[in-house]
Structure 1
Amino acid sequence: MAFPHSDAQQQHIDTMLKKDKKGRIGRAIAKFFHFSHIPSHAASTPYYRSMIATIQKESLGVEPPTSYEISGKYLDAEVNNIHVWVKNLKQLWEMYGVTLICDSWTGPTKMSIIIFLIYYNGKVIFHKSIDATSRFEDADYIYALLEQVLCEVGKKCVVQVISDNGANYKKAGKLLMQRHPHLFWTSCAAHCINLMMSDFGEINRVKKTIDTAQRISKYLYNHLWIHALMVNFTGRELVRPGITRCATNVIALNSILQNKNGLKSMFASDEWQTSRYASTADEKSIEQIILSAKFWDYMKEIVDIVEALYVVLRLVDQEKIPQMGHAYYKLRMAKDNSKKTNPLWCQSFLKIIDRRWDVQMSRDLHLAGYYLNPSYHHCYNLGFDDELLKALRNVINR
């Protein structure tokens, strides 16, 4: 019988001890996370691993920082580091330019806050916030704030100002462009598309379909037995339509549409037909809607048309990759998709898209971004497109 080599035994012991140590450390860290109500995904941040590596490096016998030190000198040190980091970035702002973002928010207490952010090279930096609760936020007030922030950041540094689509911001943005010819003002693309989708919700057929979906959803979730039967046939819960926000309603309509077969099977089943719910007028009305081919056809047309725009909304609302060079193309694809779905009925949607986009967005800026995007420029041979070249010249001339 051969005995294992002593080195192999030592390695096995070391591995066991290492696992035991990791287990004890893991439990201690997890306990800190759990009892301090820190979400577990905080361990995915680079600062978590940096903290652990520093603790391991500095060896035993070092006292951990107190709460006073964490909220005092160490917080001050981090603030100073951020200031130094921003100061170093500022040296490049005049050369490459920055985007000034102005966003407003009103909370449940009716407190109105206006926030100013600076976007540069994929990084968003908080500049300052203004409590505008006691102020009348007309165009003149917004314009004065923007002028003040421009002076603080550096007028030569800012090449674009982005705000929401309110009439006051739009007027202030135009005044800003008149005063500073090198500047572009554009409204938030995500907000613009949200407004498009809200306008979609006012189209009579869309509104009726959403109202019907809300009625169905409310009915299915207001009765425990019916809800349980629905889950049994669909195998899942439904996303329920809300009262507002058309984007959420589109997701809800799509959820109901995906469960079409399950819902139809439910209302055609023996369990339903022999239940006490199947005989009342309200229930029969819901059953007729679910078994109606017209209802599902309307829903599919709406989802097919609006979902393409929802994809654009998700694209422009994400923060990882700048979307200036993609927004125009994606919106055009959404319009083309609408035409394929229902060439006649889609005209109402297309008018809303064109009206919102042309009136509220900086058309030249997005066209120039589309033209300069190499993934589209070569694929679609945009080099000699007169409309795009004109937009590009307009942007360069500013």
Structure 2
Amino acid sequence: MVRGKEKGSSSLRRDPSWKYSVQVDIGDGEKSYVYLKCNFCEKVVKGGVTRMKEHLSCSHKKVAPCAKVSDNVKEEISAYMKKTTTVKHLQQEQFDERVEHGTYFGSESGKGSSSTIHSRGTRGPMDQHMTTPEVDRGEVEMIPAAEEVKNATFIFNLLDGVIDEIGEQLVVQVVTDNASAYKAASQMLMEKRTHLYWTPCAAHCIDLILEDLGDLPQHKSALSRAKKITKFIYNHSWVLSLMTKFSKKEIICSATTRFATSYLTLQSLMEVRQPLELMFTSTKWLNSAWGKKSEGKEIRKIILNDKFWATVTYAILSTRPLVQVLRLVDAEKKPAMGFIYNAMDEAKELIAYNLGGEEASYREIWDIVDARWEMQLHRHLHAAAYYVNP
């Protein structure tokens, strides 16, 4: 749904789509939603001025094209869209530059802006729809209220309306996250539109698998102590400066999901094990103020503990294949649909091999993977795509 501004808003009326459409108000007593009706074909568009421009320009992008719009209007709207797209691209480049320099990410204390800081640490493909846009370009969006998002019927109506606007014949797949409300709504959608498939987000599913694995005692021990190490080093400039003299490699590695980041950090930590051991046994460290404090002594004890590194090794061997699948499905270089079915099978086999090949050593890991895979990601569409993949 799109909630419009007041009818007299001058900032909205500057958009050219208002010249070729009229406002239609649909109220339910407490709320009033604004829709636009095309002056040429009289189609009611539910997505506000953005989708009306797509409709008038016949872009086939987000809504069915207008069959009666004149060529000059089509050209006018297309030119306006091209101009605003250039502005958006510039803003995106500036955003990407901030991410590259680390100014996008918020602190753990939550000081970052709630409209731009994502809980996973990075900006994903859905985040572009979850920010408040500029209103001076005539684009007003409403983020469904938290109470409504949890309602499967509301989500179903929202998705169903979008498919109507796009054109049912153009939609074959809907991808959402794995929340129960989305699953229920998508099931309703498939029952209504029998040619359509719903699939859960593969990246979200794998992240949930990594989260489940993180509850295993071995993993939890490795992750909690690794977090303590990285937090201590990166929160104290003198300690961080000393570390860079022993190792040029960063410990913290960012990934697209929270738990992938945690396991990648374990891998990075393992790679600098020797420099860290040299650092915490060096004269420079032992004679320092931090070397004499209880916190510094605790971190040194962890670093020099072989049992800690054994848990790190186990966690890496049992999760690295899954992180590799996550990279496959989250990358945008090529569609992953035809690869994920086999990739998950290969990941499980590699985990078994990494843990020695005895069923007793890997069965617990497999059970956790299968619990999510069978319930969420094991879909006929994935199997079919794999079958036809040359």
Query: Within 5 A, what are the aligned runs for 1:146-185?
Result: 146-185=159-198
Gap change, CA 1:365 and 1:308, over 3 Å in 2? same
Do 2:209 and 2:368's aligned partners in 1 also have CA atoms closer than 8 Å? yes
Do structure 1's residue 360 and structure 2's residue 348 form an aligned pair?
Answer: no
Answer yes or no: is 1:132 the counterpart of 2:138: no
For residues 34-73 of structure 1, the aligned pairs below 5 Å read: none
Pick from 38, 53, 57 the counterpart of residue 83 of structure 1: 57
Is 1:325 aligned to 2:341, yes or no?
no
Structure-to-structure mapping, 1:341-356, within 5 angstroms = 341-342=354-355, 343=358, 344-356=360-372
1:114–1:130 Cα contact (<8 Å) kept: no
Q: 1:230 to 1:194 in 2, by over 3 A?
A: same
- Give the equivalent residue in structure 2 for 1:300: 313
Q: 1:80 to 1:313 in 2, by over 3 A?
A: closer
Structure 1 residue 168: Cα displacement: 0.5
Q: Answer whether contact 2:58 2:64 (CA < 8 A) is retained.
A: no
Q: Is structure 2 residue 275 aligned with structure 1 residue 266? A: no
What CA distance in whole angstroms lies between the structure 1 residues aligned with 2:61 and 2:238? 63
Residue by residue over 1:198-229, the C-alpha shift from the partner in whole angstroms, topping out at 9 and shown as x without a partner, is 22222222122111011112222343333222
1:216 aligned partner, one-letter code:
I
1:296 Cα deviation after fit: 1.2
State the distance in 2 between where 1:155 and 1:213 align.
Answer: 49
Q: Counterpart of 2:60 in structure 1: which amino acid?
A: V
**2:213 and 2:365 in contact (8 A); partners too:** yes
Quote how far apart the aligned CAs of 1:285 are: 2.6
Preserved CA contact (<8 Å) 1:210 1:241? no
**1:81-103 deviation per Cα after TM superposition (whole angstroms, max 9, x unaligned):** 99234279979xxxxxxxxxxxx
Q: What is the rounded CA distance, in whole Å, between the counterparts of 2:128 and 2:15 in structure 1?
A: 26
Of residues 104, 109, 114, the one that matches 1:108 is: 114
TM-score, normalised by the number of residues in structure 2: 0.61
The alpha-carbon deviation at position 135 of structure 1 amounts to: 5.3
Kept in 2: contact 1:115–1:130 (CA 8 A): no
Cα 1:229/1:185, change in 2 over 3 Å: same
Corresponding residue of 1:373:
389
Distance 1:318 1:82, change over 3 A: farther
Partner of 1:384: none
Per-residue deviation, residues 50-80 of structure 1 (Å, max 9, x unmatched): xxxxxxxxxxxxxxxxxxxxx989xx9xx67
In the superposition, the TM-score normalised over structure 1's length comes to 0.60
Contact 1:160 1:184 survives alignment (8 Å): yes
- Secondary structure at the counterpart of residue 185 of structure 1: strand
- 1:139 alignment partner AA: A
Shift of 1:130: 5.1
Tell me how far apart the structure 1 counterparts of residues 115 and 143 of structure 2 sit (CA, whole Å).
13
2:221 maps to a residue whose letter is K
Identify the match of residue 338 of structure 1 among 311, 332, 351: 351
Of the three residues 235, 240, 248, the one matched with 2:248 is 235
1:288 maps to: 301
**Kept after mapping to 2: 8 A contact 1:257/1:299:** yes
SS in 1 for 2:278: helix
Cα distance change of structure 1 residues 192 and 279 upon mapping to structure 2, 3 Å threshold: same
Equivalent residue of 2:58, what SS? helix
Q: Which amino acid aligns with 1:271?
A: K
CA–CA separation in structure 2 for the residues paired with 1:337 and 1:132: 42
Q: Quick one: distance in 2 between partners of 1:280 and 1:139?
A: 54
Q: Compared with structure 1, are the counterparts of its residues 321 and 83 closer, same or farther at alpha carbon in structure 2 (3 Å cutoff)?
A: farther
Taking the aligned partners of 1:241 and 1:185, their CA distance within structure 2 comes to 30
Q: 1:185 touches 1:362 (CA, 8 Å); kept in 2?
A: no
Q: Counting helix residues as a fraction of each chain, which structure ranks higher?
A: 1
Contact 2:54 2:61 in 1 (8 A): no
SS of structure 2 residue aligned to 1:86: coil
State the match for 1:187 in structure 2.
200
Larger RCO: 1 or 2 (CA < 8 Å, sep 6+) = 2
Distance 1:340 1:315 in 2: 21
Residue of structure 1 equivalent to 2:25: none
Separation of aligned partners in 2, 1:157 and 1:136? 27
Does the CA-based 8 Å contact 1:160-1:186 persist in structure 2?
yes
CA 1:281–1:108 in 2, change beyond 3 Å: closer, same or farther?
closer
Contact 1:114/1:129, CA 8 A, preserved across alignment: no
Distance across 1 between alignment mates of 2:217 and 2:245: 34
**% identical equivalent positions:** 34
CA distance in 2, matches of 1:185, 1:320: 22
Distance 1:222 1:147, change over 3 A: closer
- List alignment gaps of at least 5 residues for structure 1: 1-70, 92-106, 117-127, 375-398
CA drift at 1:362: 4.8
Taking the aligned partners of 1:87 and 1:290, their CA distance within structure 2 comes to: 54
The change in CA–CA distance for 1:241 and 1:318 in structure 2 (over 3 A counts) is closer
Cα deviation for residue 289 of structure 1 reads 1.4
SS at match of 2:60: helix
- Distance of 1:132 and 1:274 partners within structure 2: 57
Aligned length: 272
